[in-house]
Structure 1
Amino acid sequence: MLEELGVNPAHHFAFARLMKLIQEHNPDFELLGPGSPFISQNELELLGALSSFSRKKSQVHGKPTPAELPEVMATLLGACGMALRIGGVIMKSRPIPALTSLPDMEVTTRPLRHHARLRPVKVVEVLEVSPLLRRIVVTGVSLFDYPDGRPGHWVKLFLEGSNEGVPVGRAYSVREWDAESRRMAFDIALHCGGPMSQWAANARVGDRLSVSGPRGGLVENNAGSWLLLAGDESALAAIQAIMARTTPEKELHVFVEVSKESEILEFPARPNAVIRWLLRDAENPETASTMYEAIRCSPLPNQSGGAWVGGESGVVKKIRQHLLRERGFNAEDVQAAGFWKKGEVDFKDLAVG
């Protein structure tokens, strides 16, 4: 929520780390915030007063607020007060003295709405996985509490610059995440047009981005069943991440559609995985998906299994319908999401998660 009010995210990661250390040292220490049943009128008025004081000082003297109230902290406090008002937080007066626990309440409260925060990161490595695929590795202190998402989860990357005040961002699956070193890798497919693709083609170590997420990822309702994985270049990183997180005993049937033979990658050998690389018709790219036809005509296990499918929205929809209507898959075992759609920019599919 603070990001929407114009507060630089780099200013409050240090505060977040401090709060985390306090809670680790003293788990019973209570902080008012989204996890609290309510925030009192006293705190809200205090935040508003500090914000007002900060603005008046800046307007009168035309310079940053005095040392007793640093400008960054004043901005943060003021934004907190405004965010609480915008969020419609239920307020109830209570005594200021410290309490060992919050008092029981008989009124209904409404918590703050969840807003994914932006995490500033820096590019530390750029690799050419294939002629049309770039691996971008980023790191940053903002990833200190990044959760271990489900295999195949995705985040949204934002370029440091902006287009007439509107951040440029696109969603990408996380290829690898190392919590110990705080390194995150993405595989970005290069294509004609698109600001993120153009940036990735010329990305350099030291480039700065912002990350929001994680979202989505594979959910297996029956971990013991076999698994179908299918997708085009946009889903390749997610497919590899899912394969890396599944046990060697898991039976996998993998379909990957690419535009050129040079884009075929070498996957680690797995005894129970059948991998099919499919080439699109370069002369007729608008024809029916090669991936859909390959799945429709391929022999698959008869017993109930799971499926994860990602790619162009129209193709993904056809594959999902085929799996449910003709293959007998249970609806809850099929995860199918359109990562992009022909003719649309920054397409959003609610099924992605």
Structure 2
Amino acid sequence: MPRISRDTDIYPISLRELEVLRVEDITPAMRRVTFGGAGLLAHTRDGEPVPALVSDGFDDDVRLILPDPETGDRPYPKSLGDGRLDWNEQVNDLFRTYTVRTWTPDAGEYGELAIDFARHGAGLAEGWSASASAGDRVFIAGPKNCGAHPSHTDWLLLVGDETALPAIGRCLENCPAGHPVVAVVEVPTRADIQDIDCAADLDMHWVVRDEGGDFTEELLTHVRGGGKLPEGTPFLWAAGEAGRLKTVRTLAKKMGVPREHVEIVGYWRRNNAVAEGAAAGSAGTSSISPLMELYEMAEIAPGLALRSAAELGLFEAVDAASTASTASAASAATPTVADVAPAV
């Protein structure tokens, strides 16, 4: 049985250069940068064809290759000629992975792609987004995986902190009318609660951190305290700080949610340093992370091999090993396997 019941389309990772069209603050802690440009369409780069961008899934992500904050240089991964890109050490140090908040292919001349950045006060992406303005240019790669909307079960449970909010917001906006949904989202302050258009039958729980709120506690209270849940089998999608999501995994098992209907993604991992990876939809990156090797394998490995690895529990085993060694991790936000491995 497949690890996740959502259908997923997998694409080669294509590099494209985009231009900042506009920057706006959605809330005090969330800045949205909208990109455009001919790079969103099919074109040729370095003598090789680049297909038009595709982003159909609510949790699609791209790699943003940001300018060097000290030199202003803009390196990018060159094609290796075999379907892979050369993610050398210099480029690895300058990319961060972010969720596509919206993709509007019919907007303007080329379409528009928006990415939300959580304003957490530190890090490469935070620094870039804080000073970004119209006309700035960046390279992006991806999306690689586009997963179907998880409305194929009786109801939907969405859980996470503000790093999951871009994906959750897109998911809610794309929900079929009347589909039952329970969402629990933690934000820093009450001013960071967002207005999200949603035609679903939505039971929304905003949890405010500076008022003592915790999304895991809110979820436990709602489920264990007799909160009204829709009938039938749910699909559970959760993302955020990896350590806190262990509670959600345990709850999913106690609720009896089938394993193939549970998708829990550690977007970042906290340690004693400032968690640079705690950015909206950001998995965080590190050029020394051994888990990045899984992602590179996924760029060229056949889908059947990836499916077999998932069914054998390989990804979970590596994730467990990563969790055990968190204290010695060099990055403030080392990606988990769920961050870097495709859904298969």
* TM-score where L is the length of structure 1: 0.61
Give the equivalent residue in structure 2 for 1:73: none
Determine which structure has more spread, i.e. the larger CA radius of gyration.
1
Separation in structure 2 between the aligned mates of residue 272 and residue 176 of structure 1, nearest angstrom: 22
Q: Which residue identity lines up with residue 231 of structure 1 in the other structure? A: G
Q: 2:265 aligns with which of 331, 337, 353?
A: 337
Separation in structure 2 between the aligned mates of residue 163 and residue 202 of structure 1, nearest angstrom: 14
Q: Which residue identity lines up with residue 265 of structure 2 in the other structure? A: A
Give the equivalent residue in structure 2 for 1:156: 63
Helix, strand or coil at the partner of 1:160: coil
Task: Check 1:317–1:140 CA distance in 2 against 1; reply closer, same or farther (3 A cut).
Answer: farther
Give the equivalent residue in structure 2 for 1:175: 101
Q: 2:221 aligns with which of 272, 285, 297?
A: 297
Helix, strand or coil at the partner of 2:67: strand
Structure 1 residue 202 corresponds to structure 2 residue 131: yes
Deviations, residues 279-319 of structure 1 (Å, cap 9, x unaligned): 12568xxxxx8111111121223421101101001112321
Higher relative contact order (CA 8 A, sep 6+): 2
Separation in structure 2 between the aligned mates of residue 241 and residue 158 of structure 1, nearest angstrom: 23
Deviations, residues 132-163 of structure 1 (Å, cap 9, x unaligned): 11000011222111123322211111113377
Give the equivalent residue in structure 1 for 2:27: 130
Separation in structure 2 between the aligned mates of residue 330 and residue 256 of structure 1, nearest angstrom: 23
Give the equivalent residue in structure 2 for 1:26: none
Give the equivalent residue in structure 1 for 2:250: 321
Q: Which residue identity lines up with residue 160 of structure 1 in the other structure? A: P
Is the 8 Å Cα contact of residues 190 and 198 (structure 1) preserved in structure 2?
no
Q: How far off its partner does 1:243 sit?
A: 1.2
Q: How far off its partner does 1:178 sit?
A: 1.3
Separation in structure 2 between the aligned mates of residue 221 and residue 266 of structure 1, nearest angstrom: 21
Q: Which residue identity lines up with residue 173 of structure 1 in the other structure? A: T
Separation in structure 1 between the aligned mates of residue 221 and residue 179 of structure 2, nearest angstrom: 23
Give the equivalent residue in structure 1 for 2:188: 259
Deviations, residues 187-239 of structure 1 (Å, cap 9, x unaligned): 10011210101111121111111111114455457614100111111111101
Q: Which residue identity lines up with residue 296 of structure 1 in the other structure? A: L
Q: Which residue identity lines up with residue 13 of structure 2 in the other structure? A: A
Helix, strand or coil at the partner of 2:134: coil
Task: Check 1:220–1:332 CA distance in 2 against 1; reply closer, same or farther (3 A cut).
Answer: farther
Is the 8 Å Cα contact of residues 170 and 346 (structure 1) preserved in structure 2?
no
Q: 2:121 aligns with which of 159, 177, 192?
A: 192
Structure 1 residue 166 corresponds to structure 2 residue 129: no
Aligned pairs for 1:108-127 within 5 A:
116-127=13-24
Separation in structure 2 between the aligned mates of residue 193 and residue 162 of structure 1, nearest angstrom: 13
Q: 1:312 aligns with which of 221, 235, 241?
A: 241
Separation in structure 1 between the aligned mates of residue 171 and residue 24 of structure 2, nearest angstrom: 21
Give the equivalent residue in structure 2 for 1:147: 54
Task: Check 1:224–1:350 CA distance in 2 against 1; reply closer, same or farther (3 A cut).
Answer: same
Separation in structure 2 between the aligned mates of residue 347 and residue 178 of structure 1, nearest angstrom: 31
Q: Which residue identity lines up with residue 95 of structure 2 in the other structure? A: G
Helix, strand or coil at the partner of 2:19: strand
Task: Check 1:269–1:153 CA distance in 2 against 1; reply closer, same or farther (3 A cut).
Answer: closer
Is the 8 Å Cα contact of residues 173 and 196 (structure 2) preserved in structure 1?
no
Separation in structure 2 between the aligned mates of residue 315 and residue 341 of structure 1, nearest angstrom: 9
Give the equivalent residue in structure 2 for 1:85: none
Separation in structure 2 between the aligned mates of residue 139 and residue 158 of structure 1, nearest angstrom: 16
Give the equivalent residue in structure 2 for 1:236: 165
Helix, strand or coil at the partner of 2:256: coil
CA RMSD, 1 decimal? 2.3
Separation in structure 2 between the aligned mates of residue 204 and residue 154 of structure 1, nearest angstrom: 22
Deviations, residues 249-305 of structure 1 (Å, cap 9, x unaligned): 21110111011111111222546101110012568xxxxx81111111212234211
Separation in structure 2 between the aligned mates of residue 222 and residue 184 of structure 1, nearest angstrom: 24
Helix, strand or coil at the partner of 2:164: helix
Q: How far off its partner does 1:118 sit?
A: 2.1
* TM-score where L is the length of structure 2: 0.63
Task: Check 1:227–1:192 CA distance in 2 against 1; reply closer, same or farther (3 A cut).
Answer: same
Q: Which residue identity lines up with residue 301 of structure 1 in the other structure? A: P
Deviations, residues 39-58 of structure 1 (Å, cap 9, x unaligned): xxxxxxxxxxxxxxxxxxxx
Is the 8 Å Cα contact of residues 151 and 175 (structure 2) preserved in structure 1?
no
Aligned pairs for 1:1-80 within 5 A:
none
Q: Which residue identity lines up with residue 133 of structure 1 in the other structure? A: M
Query: Is there any run of 5+ residues in structure 1 with no aligned partner, and where?
Result: 1-113, 284-288
Separation in structure 2 between the aligned mates of residue 178 and residue 292 of structure 1, nearest angstrom: 33
Query: Is there any run of 5+ residues in structure 2 with no aligned partner, and where?
Result: 1-10, 42-51, 72-88, 272-330
Aligned pairs for 1:219-234 within 5 A:
219=148, 223-234=152-163
